């Protein structure tokens, strides 16, 4: 149970970072932290105490195995997360070229 709680705290840390930080790079890092918290949560869902890998072989009887589906999903979300991070970082580089700063309070040409 405490693992789930720590996972929630990690999520909140990331959320705080996205909402409160002014530096673009820190915001990106915050987003990545949230994503890892969610990934961790998925792994925890599938985890069974003393469970083992669910590989079927002839001479073994597996009593207790971890759920493989969340792991497959986490692989997908890691790839998606990578794509989002790439987009964000390349945007950050271009923004720095144009505005000369990473401070979001100084990047505000759009209004209304």
Partner 1 sequence: MKTANIIPFFVIIPLASAFLITVFKNRPKNFSDFVVILATFSLLLLSLNSLQLLNSSKMIIYKIGGWLPPLGICLVVDGLAGFMLVTVNLTVFLVMVYAIRYMQLYTDKWKFHSLFMLMLAGMNGIIISGDLFNLYVFLEVASICAYALVAFGTEPEDLEAAFKYTIMGSLASLFILLGIGLIYCYVSTLNMADISFALSAKPNGALIGFVSVLFLAGFGLKAALVPFHAWLPDAHSSAPTPVSAVLSGVLIKTLGIYALSRVFFNILGISGNILLVLIVLGMLSMVAGAFLAIVQTDVKRMFAYSSISQIGYIIFAFGIGTPLAILGGLFHLFNHAIFKSLLFLNAGAIEYSTGRRDLRKLGGLGSKLPVTGATSLLGSMSISGIPPLSGFWSKLIIIIASVQAGYIGFAFIAVLVSIVTLAYYLKFQTFAFLGKVDETLTKIKEIPMTMKLSMVILAGICVVAGLMLVPLFRPILKSAADVLSSGTGYRYAVFEALK
Helix axes 24-46, 2-20, angle to 10 degrees: 160
Among 10, 21, 26, 41, binds partner 1 (CB under 8 A): 41
Q: Are 67 and 48 in contact (CB under 8 A)?
A: yes
Instruction: Give burial (CB, 10 Å; 0-12/13-18/19+) of 51.
Output: middle
Among 52, 92, 101, 103, binds partner 1 (CB under 8 A): 92
Among 49, 60, 76, 105, binds partner 1 (CB under 8 A): 76
Check residue 29 for interaction with partner 1 (CB under 8 A): no
Stated as kind and residue range, the H or E segment containing 48 is none
Which residues in this chain contact partner 1 in the complex, by CB under 8 A?
A: 11, 18, 24, 27, 31, 34-35, 38, 41-42, 45, 69-70, 73, 76-77, 80, 83-84, 87-88, 91-92, 94-95, 98-99, 107-110, 112
């Amino acid at each position: 149970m405490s693992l789930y709680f720590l996972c929630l705290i990690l999520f909140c840390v990331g959320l705080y970072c996205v909402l409160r930080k002014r530096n673009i790079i820190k915001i990106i890092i915050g987003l990545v932290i949230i994503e890892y918290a969610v990934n961790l949560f998925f792994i925890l869902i599938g985890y069974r105490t003393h469970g083992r890998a669910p590989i079927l072989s002839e001479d073994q009887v597996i009593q207790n195995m971890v759920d493989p589906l969340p792991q497959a999903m986490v692989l997908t979300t890691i790839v998606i997360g990578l794509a989002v991070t790439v987009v964000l970082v390349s945007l950050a580089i271009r923004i720095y070229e144009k505005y000369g700063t990473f401070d979001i309070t100084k990047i505000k040409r759009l209004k209304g």
